Amino acid sequence: MNDLEARLASAPEPHSPLPAPAPDFAAASQPSYARTLFFGPLGLRPGWGLTFYVASFFLLERLGDFCATAAVHLSPTMSTRASDALFEFAGLVAAVIPAIILTRVEKRRWAEYGLSLLRAFGKNFWVGAVWGFAGISALIVALYGLHDFTFGRIVLHGARIAKFGVYWSIMFLLVGLFEEFLFRGYTQFTLARGIGFWPAAIILSTSFGLVHLGNEGEQWPGALAAAFIAVFFCLTLRRTGSLWFAVGFHAAWDWGESFFYSVPDSGLPAPGHLLNSSLHGPEWLTGGSVGPEGSVLCFLVITLLWIAFAHVYPATGIILGHGGGKRTPLPAA
């Protein structure tokens, strides 16, 4: 090997060219703008969920009213009581259907909205019913003790007592289910995800009170009392993780007020009541046309119930969704 060949053999080989870098597809793998607009890390953003729910509810409520009205016209023998229950049921359906759709969109379980079907009409419901009837009874007894309420006499007899007692039980169960789920079901859960539990509770409870102003005979004291009671219902939801206590309380309170003690409920007297009772005295004490819910004593009774409930049901980190499987914590306060 000559010197030239030796130098060529010992010379380092030239570096081979580096492979071309792979194209960066990171931007292409990012979610679209439309998806980030509607969905966040925890699923559908609360604002969009509430918008869809409220808009769907009003649309379905109009449709339900139309169908119920048509049914009433097609059944001229239908009683006023039956038609009232039909309209209330239509409202409940309008409140439930959008939430069912959103459980699929948000991939959540129905129980997370407070009405676990596995706990339907269980212990919380019946305990709530006892508390509700005891609450309205305490209010009526206080008015009686102040000589502002008279029981009168029984105006129903025989089978009519059972007939109207059962009817108003069913009617106020529908009212309790409808109003509790509409204001403290999907709406409370979703708004709480955005702004916290108690701010959401205050906003929705205020709305609950304002809605009552649409009742004939309702006045501002009664609307304020309705809002105050609604905040108490939010406490029961917070502590039990379920709406069933509030549903039982709501139904029994209304049943006791309207049928058993036979006084106006949020400005609405109930036909087919048990007694010919009467309220007499200053409106600030009796509630006037509103009924006992417009009385200052109502605020006192609810405050005492709040204290008692907070003692019996201490804060223990209860979570929504008692139906089994993965459960979702209540949104932060």
Residue pLDDT, tens place only, 164-203: 999 999 999 999 999 999 999 999 999 999 999 999 999 9
Please, which pLDDT band fits residue 321 given cuts at 50, 70 and 90?
A: very low
Alpha carbon separation from 17 to 21, 142, 166, 285, 298 (Å, rounded): 12, 95, 89, 94, 86
Residue in 174, 188, 156, 190 with CA at minimum distance from that of residue 48: 190
Non-local CB neighbours of 185 within 8 Å, separated by 6+ positions:
95, 99, 113, 114, 115, 243
pLDDT in tens, 54-113: 999 999 999 999 999 998 888 887 888 889 999 999 999 999 999 999 999 999 999 999
Torsion of CA 296, 302, 308, 309, to 10 degrees: -170
Which phi and psi angles does 109 have, rounded to 5°?
-90, 150
List, as one string, the DSSP characters of 213-244: TTSTT--HHHHHHHHHHHHHHHHHHHHHSSSH
Q: What pLDDT is attached to residue 333?
A: 43
The predicted model gives 130-143 an average pLDDT of 98
Lowest mean pLDDT among 77-81, 132-136, 249-253: 77-81
The percent of residues above 90 in pLDDT, for the chain, comes to 71
The one-letter amino acid at 252: A
What amino acid is encoded at 92 in this protein? Answer: L
Instruction: Determine the pLDDT at residue 267.
Output: 80
SS3 content of the chain, % helix, strand, coil (to 5): 65, 5, 30
Amino acid identity of residue 75, one-letter, is: S
Locus of tokens 């539990």 = 197
CA-to-CA separations, 122 to 119, 245, 329, in angstroms, rounded: 5, 9, 21
Q: How far is CA 29 from CA 8, 33, 34, in A?
A: 50, 12, 14
Nearest alpha carbon to residue 188 among 41, 331, 38: 331
147-175 mean pLDDT: 95
Kindly write down the DSSP assignment for every residue of 81-134, as one continuous string. HHHHHHHHHHHHHHHHHHHHHHHHHHT--GGGGT--GGGTTSHHHHHHHHHHHH
Which has more confidence, 35 or 103? 103
Helix (H) or strand (E) holding 144: helix 123-145
**Chain center to CA of 155:** 35
Displacement of CA 148 from its chain's centroid (Å): 34
How far does Cα 38 stand from its chain's mean position? 24
State the pLDDT at residue 224.
95
pLDDT digits (tens, 9 = 90+) for 260-308: 999 998 888 888 899 999 999 999 999 998 999 999 999 999 999 999 9
Mean pLDDT, the chain, integer: 87
> Which residues have C-beta within 8 Å of that of residue 10, sequence separation ≥ 6?
none
Considering only CA atoms, which of 246, 179, 187, 185 is closest in space to residue 212? Answer: 179
Three-state SS for 333? coil
State how far the Cα of 322 lies from the Cα of 104, in Å rounded to an integer.
19
Q: How many Å apart are CA 140 and CA 70, to the nearest integer?
A: 40
